[in-house]
């Protein structure tokens, strides 16, 4: 978390610190503070931010499943409210490339939504 936000040589820096994502002062000051706020990491979960554009802070972080992590990626660029609309339009015959342009995401993401590979 700290490396992604503050170490410019980190391969993920551009998507975190480079976008202005920060870690709250309380967590920077002490791992114990982080542990008190977040608790022990449940098995199979990783730290995620609820708002992908928000900072690492208690109000915006949770322990997420891999599925939640996938849905929260900025590269996914889909919100839950669009999923049913995408599926309905696809069922009516709208082509993947049109849906991709309409929802500003990749055809792979559209296909995964329509095939229930994501957003189950």
94 in any annotated domain: yes
| pLDDT at site 83 | 87
Do both 48 and 67 map to the same domain?
yes
Tokens standing for 90?
């696809």
The owner of tokens 């991709």 is: 100
At 77 the pLDDT is 57
Is 18 a domain residue? Answer: no
User: 38 with 67, same domain?
Assistant: yes
pLDDT tens digits, one per residue of 42-61: 999 999 998 888 999 999 99
- What residue numbers bound the domain in which 32 lies? 24-74
């Amino acid at each position: 978390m700290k490396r992604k936000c503050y170490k410019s040589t980190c391969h993920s820096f551009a998507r975190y610190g480079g976008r202005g994502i920060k870690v709250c002062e309380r967590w920077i000051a002490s791992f114990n503070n982080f542990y008190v706020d977040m608790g022990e990491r449940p098995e199979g979960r990783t730290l995620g931010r609820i708002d992908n554009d928000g900072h690492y802070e208690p109000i915006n972080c949770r322990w997420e499943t891999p599925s939640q992590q996938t849905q929260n990626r900025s590269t996914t660029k889909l919100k839950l409210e669009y999923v049913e609309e995408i599926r309905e339009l696809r069922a009516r015959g709208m082509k993947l490339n049109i849906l991709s342009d309409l929802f500003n995401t990749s055809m792979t993401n559209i296909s995964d939504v329509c095939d229930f590979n994501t957003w189950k």
